[in-house]
């Protein structure tokens, strides 16, 4: 556990100086605040931008940042140095995962400032679940990719599918049907309802299958490539 | 329990020559008082045998005089030794006898001294054999240099010894333990600086070291000391990305020094550095040796190996083709045995190592004719060329051609 916190602290120091990753955490919460406060279109659904950007944030930030962090460490061989200093692979991954999850939750907290207080726990719970699945997917890419360039070419299509499919589903029925199999779309539906009562068997099944697939791919990638 | 104080210790074990050294250097100079207690410097003993003796003392709860009798009696030649009446000889025999009746413990002690040991290590990548039957034995406090051209298998061997890469066959022990069974605590006694290991570019030098200080449980005040050791005290807050190549190497070295390791693996530590930085790094490596650290370094720079290493092994196409102290190797391959003179007249002459040359040399010296004088011993590079027909930097030059 000590090493997990050391990795967490290291990432915190590093991210403050890493604009590429830092912008991932700041962009959507900042855009949400700006858009919600500046744009007021008649008949626009309540909290439209918050819900839209929340799903994009969920599908984009954790996935890209985890993949970037792991692949950068692999490329620069700093990860190998950590491993030789007796940091276990699970400690490293848990440290990075915990750090990204915490920062994303802080971003979600900022996004939640416009939400009525009684809906905030639900919003944060949905975001927390989505972040976890995205983090595992990002770890899959990070573990599989030998360097940042490969990681970018791998996470870009995955990230686009998961973060933009729910938005495109708003305008196209066929896309909505297909997007239904993605965790981001199911969580968007939940956010629209803003109540735990909205959780049904389909939602649970899709989330469970997505999480299981992400975990399965992660373990397959880890078994094949390890962390070095 | 005897009044036995282990003041300090030094390993004198070298490739199986320990008995000889003990007899010649160790006990022959030991001094005892009338109560048969050790008064003199323990340096005079082989550490292996001192440990043996200490173990027996603890086990039997006897004095040194008592344990000698115990050992001698158990070995069965008490009468002959006692008849001699020489305490020094008596103790020597007792120690040697302890070898006879405690072979297991002796082997254990010997392994402790052999900090790194490799036997018949083989490694292939696909059909390409990279290492074929490598044997190594590196004692405590030595600087060992693995010399060879690029692609000879140096980094592969270092990776196998440090447990980063699995071997196909053979045995590797570090601290007397199989490298694959090293615990976390063991790993913290090893410092590794590979050529391709990076630093966190965005973090400052101090922050880079803080991460590893936290991991190793080293107090943060050691960071200043480590940076000072490598001459980076002025770059405490400087981001690593703003450091020059030489400074980055020194930062990586500081990361290794932070934990005061007992074994350091340095892969091409001065590759591509300027002579001043190289000299600074050589000094740092020598400082580590002075505090008892064992250093395993790979290089293709034979001058570096000659200056730094106590022992070198020349690696070519996965095989060790020669090993020994650099000057010994050079003397061994000194076939010509001549002296080259450059005279003030501009003339170069070569004299043989013989009595006949002595008078000619004396005459030239008296006349003050000699500008420079050199003996004909080969360098490590010329030895390598003689053994393999290849130059140490041949591949590298080809790469940049």
Domain definitions of chain A by residue range: 2-225
Q: pLDDT grade, residue B50 (50/70/90)?
A: low
Is B200 in Cβ contact with A10 (below 8 Å)? yes
Distance from CA of A87 to the nearest CA of B (A): 8
The DSSP letter of residue A44 is: P
For residue A18, list chain B residues with Cβ-Cβ distance below 8 A: 202
Distance from CA of A10 to the nearest CA of B (A): 7
User: What residues of chain A score a pLDDT lower than 70?
Assistant: 228
ipTM (interface predicted TM)? 0.85
A86 touches chain B (CB under 8 A): yes
B186 touches chain A (CB under 8 A): no
B216 touches chain A (CB under 8 A): yes
B283 touches chain A (CB under 8 A): no
Helix (H, G, I), strand (E, B) or coil at B142: coil
Is A84 in Cβ contact with B162 (below 8 Å)? yes
Is A86 in Cβ contact with B215 (below 8 Å)? yes
For residue B188, list chain A residues with Cβ-Cβ distance below 8 A: 85-86
A223 touches chain B (CB under 8 A): no
Of A66-70, B56-60, B191-195, B385-389, the poorest mean pLDDT is in B56-60
Check residues A193 and B49 and name the one with the higher pLDDT: A193
Assess contact for B136 and B181: CB atoms under 8 A. no
Q: pLDDT grade, residue B23 (50/70/90)?
A: very low
Query: Computed over its alpha carbons, how large is the radius of gyration of chain A?
Result: 18
Q: Which CATH superfamily is domain B114-327 in?
A: P-loop containing nucleotide triphosphate hydrolases (3.40.50.300)
- Res B280: pLDDT: 86
For residue B239, list chain A residues with Cβ-Cβ distance below 8 A: 17
- Res A94: pLDDT: 95
Interface test with A, best of B166, B183, B190, B198 (most A CBs within 10 A): B198
- Res B20: pLDDT: 28
For residue A6, list chain B residues with Cβ-Cβ distance below 8 A: 211, 214-215
Instruction: Give tens-digit pLDDT for B51-96.
Output: 555 555 555 555 555 555 554 454 433 333 333 344 444 455 445 4
- Res A129: pLDDT: 93
Please name the residue of chain A whose CA is at the shortest distance from the CA of residue B216: A85
B199 touches chain A (CB under 8 A): yes
Is B203 in Cβ contact with A13 (below 8 Å)? yes
For residue B215, give the nearest of A17, A76, A87 by CB distance: A87
Q: Is the pLDDT of residue B6 over 90?
A: no
**How many C-beta atoms lie closer than 10 Å to residue B230's C-beta?**
22
Instruction: Give tens-digit pLDDT for B121-142.
Output: 999 988 888 999 898 888 888 8
Place of tokens 């996935």: A63
Q: Is the pLDDT of residue B293 over 70?
A: yes
If you average pLDDT over residues B8-35, what whole number do you get?
30
- Res B77: pLDDT: 36
Q: Which residues of B74-93 are buried (b: 16+ CB within 10 A; e: fewer)?
A: ebeebeebeeeeeeeebbbb
- Res B336: pLDDT: 74
Mean per-residue pLDDT over chain B, rounded: 72
Tell me the C-alpha to C-alpha distance, in Å, between residue A216 and each of A130, A151, A209. 17, 19, 10
Q: pLDDT grade, residue B12 (50/70/90)?
A: very low
CA distance B75 to B195: 52
If you average pLDDT over residues B166-171, what whole number do you get?
90
If you average pLDDT over residues B180-201, what whole number do you get?
86
DSSP letter string over B166-229? --SEEEEEETTEEGGG--HHHHTTEEEE-TT----TTSBHHHHHHHHHHHHT--THHHHHHHHH
Which residues partner with B134 through β-bridges? B121
For residue A21, list chain B residues with Cβ-Cβ distance below 8 A: none
The structure tokens listed for A159 are: 């990230």
- Res B113: pLDDT: 56
Question: Nearest 5°: phi and psi at B9?
Answer: -140, 150
A46, with CB counted inside 10 A (0-12, 13-18, 19+), is exposed
Distance from CA of A13 to the nearest CA of B (A): 7
Instruction: Give tens-digit pLDDT for B248-282.
Output: 888 998 999 888 889 999 988 888 778 888 888 89
Q: Which residues touch B266 (CB under 8 Å, ≥6 apart)?
A: B193, B253, B256, B285, B295, B296, B297, B298
Strands (E), B317-369: 319-324, 338-343, 348-352
- Res B61: pLDDT: 55
Domain segments of chain B as ranges: 18-101, 114-327, 330-400
**How many C-beta atoms lie closer than 10 Å to residue B243's C-beta?**
18
Assess contact for B276 and B244: CB atoms under 8 A. no
């Amino acid at each position: 556990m000590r090493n997990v916190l050391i990795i967490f602290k290291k990432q915190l120091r590093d991210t403050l100086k890493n604009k590429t990753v830092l912008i991932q955490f700041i962009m959507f919460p900042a855009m949400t605040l700006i858009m919600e406060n500046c744009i007021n279109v008649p008949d626009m659904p309540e909290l439209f931008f918050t819900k839209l950007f929340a799903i994009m944030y969920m599908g984009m930030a954790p996935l890209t940042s985890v993949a970037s962090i792991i692949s950068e460490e692999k490329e620069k061989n700093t990860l190998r140095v950590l491993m030789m200093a007796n940091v276990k692979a699970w400690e490293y991954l848990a440290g990075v995962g915990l750090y990204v999850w915490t920062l994303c939750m802080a971003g979600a907290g900022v996004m939640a400032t416009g939400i009525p207080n009684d809906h905030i726990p639900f919003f944060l719970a949905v975001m927390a679940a989505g972040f976890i699945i995205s983090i595992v997917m990002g770890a899959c890419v990070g573990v599989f990719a030998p360097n940042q360039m490969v990681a970018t070419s791998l996470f870009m299509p995955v990230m686009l599918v998961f973060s933009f499919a729910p938005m495109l589903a708003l305008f196209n029925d066929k896309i909505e049907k297909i997007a239904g199999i993605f965790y981001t779309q199911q969580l968007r539906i939940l956010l629209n309802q803003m109540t735990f009562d909205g959780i049904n068997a389909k939602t649970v099944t899709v989330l469970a299958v997505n999480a299981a697939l992400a975990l399965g791919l992660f373990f397959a990638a880890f078994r094949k490539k390890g962390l070095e | 329990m005897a009044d036995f104080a282990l003041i300090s210790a030094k390993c004198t074990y070298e490739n199986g020559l320990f008995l000889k050294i003990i007899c010649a250097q160790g006990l022959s100079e030991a001094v005892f008082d009338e109560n048969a207690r050790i008064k003199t410097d323990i340096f005079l003993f082989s550490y292996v045998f001192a440990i043996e003796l200490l173990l027996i003392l603890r086990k039997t709860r006897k004095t040194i005089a008592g344990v000698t009798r115990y050992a001698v009696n158990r070995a069965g030649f008490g009468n002959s030794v006692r008849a001699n009446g020489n305490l020094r000889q008596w103790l020597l025999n007792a120690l040697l006898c302890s070898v006879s009746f405690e072979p297991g413990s002796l082997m254990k002690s010997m392994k402790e001294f052999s900090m790194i040991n490799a036997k018949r290590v083989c490694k292939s990548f696909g059909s390409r054999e990279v290492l074929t039957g490598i044997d190594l034995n590196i004692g405590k406090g030595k600087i060992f240099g693995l010399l060879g051209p690029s692609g000879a298998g140096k980094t592969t061997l270092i990776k196998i010894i440090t447990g980063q890469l699995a071997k196909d066959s053979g045995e590797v022990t570090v601290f007397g333990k199989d490298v694959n069974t090293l615990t976390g605590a063991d790993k913290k006694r090893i410092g590794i600086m590979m050529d391709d290991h990076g630093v966190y570019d965005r973090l400052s030098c101090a922050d880079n070291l803080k991460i590893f200080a936290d991991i190793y449980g080293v107090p943060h005040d050691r960071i200043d000391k480590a940076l000072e050791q490598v001459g980076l005290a002025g770059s405490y807050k400087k981001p690593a990305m703003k450091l020059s190549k030489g400074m980055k190497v020194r930062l990586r070295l500081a990361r290794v020094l932070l934990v005061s390791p007992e074994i350091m693996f340095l892969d091409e530590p001065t590759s591509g550095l300027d002579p001043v930085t190289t000299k600074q790094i050589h000094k740092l490596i020598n400082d580590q040796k002075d505090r008892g650290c064992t250093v395993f370094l790979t290089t293709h720079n034979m001058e570096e190996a000659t200056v730094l290493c106590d022992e070198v092994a020349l690696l070519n196409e996965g095989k060790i083709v020669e090993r020994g102290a650099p000057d010994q190797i050079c003397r061994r391959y000194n076939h010509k045995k001549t002296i080259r003179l450059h005279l003030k007249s501009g003339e170069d002459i070569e004299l043989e190592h013989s009595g006949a040359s002595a008078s000619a040399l004396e005459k030239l010296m008296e006349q003050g004719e000699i500008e420079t004088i050199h003996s004909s011993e080969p360098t490590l590079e010329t030895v390598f060329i003689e053994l393999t027909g290849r130059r140490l930097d041949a591949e590298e030059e080809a790469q940049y051609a």
